[in-house]
Amino acid sequence: MAGTKLKIKKVKVGLGTCGIAAGASQVYQELESLGKKEGFEVGKVGCLGLCYREPLINIEGSFGRVVLGDISPSELKGAWEDIKNGYFPEEKIIFDGQNYRDNFITRQKRIVLRNVGLIDPEDIEEYLACNGYKGLERVLTWEPEKVLTEVEKSGLRGRGGAGFPTGLKWKLTRAAPGDTKYIICNADEGDPGAFMDRSILEGDPHSVVEGMIIAGYAVGASEGYIYVRAEYPLAVKRIEKALKQAEKKGFLGENILGSKFSFKIKIKEGAGAFVCGEETALIASIEGKRGMPRLRPPFPANRGLWGKPTSINNVETFANIPWIILHGAEEFASIGTEDSKGTKVFALAGRVKKTGLVEVPMGTSLKEIIFDIGGGIKEDKKFKAVQIGGPSGGCLPDKLLETPVEYRALTETGAIMGSGGMIVLDETSCMVDLARYFLTFIQSESCGKCVPCRVGTKRMLEMLNRLTEGELSSEEIPKLEALAHVVRTASLCGLGQTAPNPVLTTLKYFFSEYDMHAKEKRCPAGVCTGLTTFVINEKVCTGCGICVKHCVVKAISGEKKKPHRIDVEKCVKCGLCLINCPFDAIYKV
């Protein structure tokens, strides 16, 4: 293409939340201006998954498609003449028209993310061009029992965390007595560091809608709900548009595609309560009640929304369904392991070089995801742990990096699959502080209905706070562990039952850090300020006085151009002196 003036037809900008945060809106505006002058269309796509390369643009024309990353508005303006003449900046190329050049993509197997980042999520025609709603057309020629059998044969398990077999859940709902039944899509993604569901809804909402309609046909439901948190405004906007487009095309509403099957979908925006990710609390929220779990049985498949049989699955689960119908249960079941079929999407974040969405076959090792796909640890620091499964998950050390991502293997380590959050930690992370962080989140999100969760997590958090302040003795650590087991065993719902996982796994694999905090009153990572002292290296300090200006409690003193000192009695350990010292003369001990 180099040296040949290109016929550019359309340029699409990655306008998912991550792209917008990186400046994609400004890139979009610049391209709109160029498009008006030069006669090409400007469109949008969702997040391709390479969050660390945002903003991204897809350039389409007679030459095919080229994807460029790390494109700022100023860089775009300067490089546009070269791009028109077929000279694409080599360091920016992600897809060269034939191959992806980044193993972050090439090492993945994309089923759920098959369209995300490639099609305009607000244009149903682009979804239809990718075999969209073909799965629905096919199942409408089948008996519902055949759909149930196909999903069951695929081995698809719920991707929301528990991993319950999807086909079995649908069969139980269909077999439950009653003429009125419901389908619910759980899009209440609340795990810190998790953004899989958000990206799917922003990038390919029709795949989720189609999956829900197929589920409705299979179980005998005529109405569905998408329960999505209001903190996802872009996802909500694109779902609303997708529902209107699907209804206009006859894929939703009365007598779908001329059949006797009718189905409608409503959106329910949640208020951001983490506990509403639990299915019975979610149902209560839709009904207008306070989002609190209830005892089970009866399970939602027998008595759910408004007391009627209800099948609840998450976003990723529904997005798999159209692919399974079109490609066959055997094809899906051939991917993954004996216990865990298909692929799993992870949100790779933290101290890893390449962050973003990763979809891999079940059974792929943690090591391959973090080091082969994710590129390893930032600044080539030492890997310390990976936190998997969100606040309800666990922290696994380097000796468990060969663990395959599948339900059974992860559960055996003390962690869980969860919905797919994966946070990588390096040597600068404190495992005690991390456990304290997640327990703080869980404790604040507890609905308070049961004593073990409401009171037990509070007492655990108090002990961890004391430990990070150097006030907990080593003799009390076994009490922390014992309390964690009580909370896990006696809590009412999954939130409380899994709340102790970060504490239990860090105690199991990083006990030495707890010991140092308790016995030596020292945080080896220098994170816990209660156990940290800030010191000025007199051999390095030039006496510039910058640290003095930033110390609000006047704990730093010294003559100009002579080494300064920190009064540890006055120091409140805010760290502003460390951050602002231009000579790296301040360190923590």
Q: Residues 397-422: what's their mean pLDDT?
A: 93
C-alpha span between 193 and 347 (Å, rounded): 7
Tokens 């993604």 sit on residue:
189
Q: Residues 464-482: what's their mean pLDDT?
A: 95
User: What residue ranges do the domains of the chain occupy?
Assistant: 8-101, 124-333, 343-426, 431-520, 533-588
Q: What is the pLDDT of residue 34?
A: 92
Q: What is the pLDDT of residue 341?
A: 97
Residue 558 confidence class, pLDDT cut points 50, 70, 90? very high
Q: What is the pLDDT of residue 4?
A: 65
What's 8-101's CATH class? alpha beta
Does domain 124-333 sit in CATH 3.40.50.11540?
yes
- What kind of fold does domain 533-588 have according to CATH? Alpha-Beta Plaits (3.30.70)
Tokens 């540890």 sit on residue:
568
C-alpha span between 271 and 559 (Å, rounded): 55
- Output the CATH code of domain 431-520: 1.20.1440.230
- Alpha helical stretches, state H, 455-555: 456-468, 477-490, 494-498, 501-509, 511-515, 546-550
Residue 169 confidence class, pLDDT cut points 50, 70, 90? very high
pLDDT digits (tens, 9 = 90+) for 78-133: 888 888 888 899 999 999 989 999 999 999 999 999 999 999 999 999 999 999 99
Q: Residues 365-373: what's their mean pLDDT?
A: 97
The reply to whether the predicted model has a pTM over 0.85 is yes
pLDDT digits (tens, 9 = 90+) for 288-329: 999 999 988 999 999 999 999 999 999 999 999 999 999 999
- Does position 2 have pLDDT exceeding 60, yes or no? no
Residue 264 confidence class, pLDDT cut points 50, 70, 90? very high
What's 343-426's CATH class? alpha beta
Could you tell me which of 475, 480, 524 has the C-alpha nearest to residue 504? 480
My answer on whether omega of the bond before 55 falls inside 30° of 0, hence cis, is yes
CA distance between the termini of the chain: 57
CB atoms within 10 A of CB 29: 13
Residue 162 confidence class, pLDDT cut points 50, 70, 90? confident
CA distances (Å), origin 89, targets 60, 73, 83, 92, 201? 16, 15, 8, 5, 31
In the 8-state DSSP scheme, what is residue 368?
Answer: I
- Does position 3 have pLDDT exceeding 60, yes or no? no
